[in-house]
C-alpha cells in the first residue's frame, strides 16, 4: 500500500461503536445476573457484559473473531482544554496532508497544554514512525504508555516491536510494514502479505494473530494461535490470541472452557484495555446465544 494512502487512512480514521446484547434473565431488573466468578470472589454480571460494545465476525455461521470497542480518545481528557483539543486536531490535519514537521510542532503544543492526555503523544509516536524515525517513535510510544499503562490503540504492540527491532530480534521496519496490513482493502493481497510475513518473520507474534484470522481450517487456525503464543507476544497480542483460542474452544464444543478463559481475561487486572473489552464482548455473545 502506498505510504500516502496509509497516512490518509490513519489520520482520518474513525472508531466504530456497534452495540449488541439483550437481557435474557427473568430475574428482577435490580438483581444482577452473575455470569462468571473467580475463586477470589470477583464476578462478571450479564449487565456488565451488555455494557461492552464491539463487533463480532462470523464465517459460515461460526463466531470466529471479536473486536471490543474502547474509547481511547477520552483517556486522560478530564482537564483537557479546548485549546489543546484544537491543536491536536490541527496536528492530525497536518499529518493527513503529509506535513509531519508541522504536525509534530502542534502535537507538542497540545501536550504542553494537556500533559496527562496520551492521545497527542500517541499520534506523535506514529508521526515519527511515518518519518522512519524509529528511535523517536519508540520514545513517544513509551511516553504514551507511561500515561496509559493498560494501552491505547496499538501502543503496546508498537513499543514491543520497535524495542525488538532495536535489539536485532526483528528486522528494522517490521512494525511499519505490519501497520500497512491494517489498511489493505484487497483481501487476496492481504492474505498473501500476511502469509509472507509469518514465513519471513516467524518470531513476530502479531503476524500469527493476523494469519489465524485468515485460516478456514480449525486445525490450521489453532496451530497459528499456538505459534503466536510461542513467539513472545506483547500483552495486547497475547490477549487477542487467547481470545481467539477461547472462540476455537467454543467451536469445538467446549463452551464451558471458552467461557472460563474469557472470564479470566476479562477480570485479570493485568489484561490490556483492548483484551478486557474484547473478552467481555465475546463472553457476552456466548452466554446470550
pLDDT at 35 over 80: no
Q: What percentage of the chain exceeds 90 in pLDDT?
A: 67
pLDDT at 105 over 80: yes
pLDDT tens digits, one per residue of 246-256: 999 999 999 99
Average pLDDT, the chain: 88
pLDDT (0 to 100) of residue 146: 98
Cβ count near 13 (within 10 Å): 11
Map out the domains of the chain as residue ranges. 73-170
Q: What is the pLDDT of residue 78?
A: 87
Q: Does 273 score more than 60 pLDDT? A: yes
- For residues 30-49, give the mean pLDDT: 80
Output the pLDDT for position 45: 84
Q: Which residue has the cell 490541527?
A: 90
Confidence of residue 54 (pLDDT cuts 50, 70, 90): confident
The C-alpha cell that represents 90 in the structure block: 490541527
Angle at 177 between CA 210 and CA 147, to 5 degrees: 85
- Specify whether domain 73-170 bears CATH 1.10.390.10: no
Report the alpha-carbon distance of residue 163 to residue 146 in Å, rounded. Answer: 16
Confidence of residue 6 (pLDDT cuts 50, 70, 90): low
pLDDT band at 4 (very low <50, low <70, confident <90, very high): low
Higher pLDDT, 262 or 63: 262
Q: How high is the pLDDT of residue 20?
A: 36
Percent of the chain whose predicted confidence (pLDDT) is above 70: 89
Amino acid at each position: 500500500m502506498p505510504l500516502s494512502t496509509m497516512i490518509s487512512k490513519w489520520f482520518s480514521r474513525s472508531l466504530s461503536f456497534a452495540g449488541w446484547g439483550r437481557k435474557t434473565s427473568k430475574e428482577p431488573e435490580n438483581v444482577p445476573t452473575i455470569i462468571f466468578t473467580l475463586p477470589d470472589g470477583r464476578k462478571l454480571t450479564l449487565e456488565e457484559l451488555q455494557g461492552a460494545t464491539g463487533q463480532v465476525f462470523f464465517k459460515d455461521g461460526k463466531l470466529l473473531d471479536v473486536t471490543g470497542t474502547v474509547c481511547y480518545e477520552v483517556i486522560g481528557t478530564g482537564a483537557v482544554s479546548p485549546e489543546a483539543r484544537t491543536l491536536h486536531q490541527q496536528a492530525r490535519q497536518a499529518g493527513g496532508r503529509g506535513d509531519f514537521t508541522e504536525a509534530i510542532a502542534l502535537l507538542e503544543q497540545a501536550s504542553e497544554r494537556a500533559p496527562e492526555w496520551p492521545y497527542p503523544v500517541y499520534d506523535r509516536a506514529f508521526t515519527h514512525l511515518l518519518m522512519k524515525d524509529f528511535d523517536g517513535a519508540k520514545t513517544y510510544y513509551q511516553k504514551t504508555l507511561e500515561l496509559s499503562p493498560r494501552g491505547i490503540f496499538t501502543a503496546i504492540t508498537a513499543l514491543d516491536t520497535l524495542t525488538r527491532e532495536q535489539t536485532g530480534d526483528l528486522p528494522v521496519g517490521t512494525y511499519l510494514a505490519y501497520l500497512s496490513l491494517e489498511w489493505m482493502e484487497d483481501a487476496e493481497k492481504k492474505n498473501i502479505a500476511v502469509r509472507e510475513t509469518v514465513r519471513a518473520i516467524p518470531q513476530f507474534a502479531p503476524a500469527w494473530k493476523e494469519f489465524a484470522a485468515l485460516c478456514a481450517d480449525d486445525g490450521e487456525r489453532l496451530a497459528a494461535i499456538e505459534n503466536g503464543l510461542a513467539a513472545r507476544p506483547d500483552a495486547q497480542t497475547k490477549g487477542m490470541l487467547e481470545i481467539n483460542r477461547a472462540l476455537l474452544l467454543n467451536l469445538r464444543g467446549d463452551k464451558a472452557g471458552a467461557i472460563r478463559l474469557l472470564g479470566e481475561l476479562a477480570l485479570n487486572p493485568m489484561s490490556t484495555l483492548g483484551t478486557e473489552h474484547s473478552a467481555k464482548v465475546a463472553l457476552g455473545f456466548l452466554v446470550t446465544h
